[in-house]
Amino acid sequence: MEKKYKLLLVIRWPVGGIRTFIRYVYRNFDFRRYNFTIIAPDLPELRILLSDLDGLDVLYVFLDKNPSSISFFRAVSKTIINGKFDLIHAHGFTAGICSLLGSVLTRTPHIMTLHEVLIDDQFVGFRGYCKNEALSLLLPFIDVIHLVSHDARENLLAYFGVLKVFKNKLFVIPNGIEVKRFLNTDKRDLRKELVLPKKSFLIGFLGRFMPAKGFKYLVNALDILYKEYKLPKKPVVLAFGEGAFIREERQCVREKGLDESVCFMPFIPDVASTLKGLDVVVMPSLWEACGLVAIETMVSGVPLIGTDCIGLREVLKNTPATIVPMKDSHALADALMREMRDPSQSKAILFREEAARRFDVKRQSKEMERMILGMVE
């Protein structure tokens, strides 16, 4: 009988792309070979993740909903030292750094997957300088740093030049998804569900309400459509998500008098059928590590408009998706108007089989499992 390996997943924020990544990647592992332990804050999204991982051998270490960095570090270190794990897989910078002491003391192999990119605002002033210096010192002690796109890799090297000496530690395994779910699911009838007119044009926004997702630029584009264009249909934005800035986004919509044209929808853990009920998905992002929503949209055969920001541009390259400059609401409004007048759905449907081949998570999952087995064996 093959040995079962004990894997510790360290997660500071079990939301968005991190939760989706874990669901997609680990569900494709040979579950007979692994015991998983997850240490993470007790948030609603984590409950969804545990449901997604049903059938796997998973233990959960409960933490407070919003632990301080010190308490998170202590809990992670204690779990590693007492747990006798074969490998630690940390998700994000905070989780990776907080796992470092325990991994070094116990000589446990340590992978850190980065689901974010770095920006200048994170390293402003003396405090930012100290943070950069500290990370430059600590990051080389991590055995493997996994990046979800080539853009994310170049971004990391731009901020931490010391890692150029340790390039053998950096691995790019791009994100993927469970393609069957998005190819075969039935369409959700959002017009009927929301009692919208047949001539409405449904614009989807799926993601957390945070500045990086650029929702305000979509709201501005909608405002431009109503003020400057003769519209063949009534554009309606359906925003699915949650996040710290949802109150501000709602206020922005009210101030522009767009309450009847923007619907804030409840968070949905499984977006496949919802995507197919939309006329177009918009990603007005300012930066992405990779952009799972874009991948899910293209595999669903739904038209997509995205920005040329870091990470997202890599996903949209050589696809039928429309690419607009980031922070440019007029360009976004023009793209939406073209989609209303001349829908690109037929192109999106033709491309979905290619998208499924390109972004099937089974390939990425095999690469990740091969890397993990190489480290633990």
d(CA 115, CA 291) in angstroms, rounded, equals 10
- CATH topology identical between 5-176+360-376 and 179-359: yes
Domain ranges for the chain: 5-176+360-376, 179-359
Q: What is the pLDDT of residues 21-34, one digit of tens each?
A: 998 899 888 888 89
pLDDT at 162: 94
Q: What is the pLDDT of residues 287-334, one digit of tens each?
A: 999 989 999 999 999 999 999 999 999 999 999 999 999 999 999 999
Q: What is the pLDDT of residues 275-297, one digit of tens each?
A: 999 999 999 999 999 989 999 99
Cβ atoms of 249 and 209 closer than 8 Å: yes
d(CA 8, CA 31) in angstroms, rounded, equals 14
| Assigned CATH for 179-359 | 3.40.50.2000
Give the torsion sign (CA, 84, 63, 271, 245).
Answer: negative
Instruction: Classify strands 262-265 and 144-147 as parallel, antiparallel or unpaired.
Output: unpaired
Q: What is the pLDDT of residues 41-91, one digit of tens each?
A: 998 888 888 888 888 888 999 899 889 999 999 999 999 999 999 999 999
- Bridge partners (DSSP) of residue 367 are none
- Bridge partners (DSSP) of residue 305 are 282, 322
**327 half-sphere exposure, CB direction, 13 A CA radius:** 6
State which fold the 5-176+360-376 domain adopts.
Rossmann fold (3.40.50)
User: How large is the C-alpha radius of gyration of the chain?
Assistant: 21
pLDDT at 13: 87
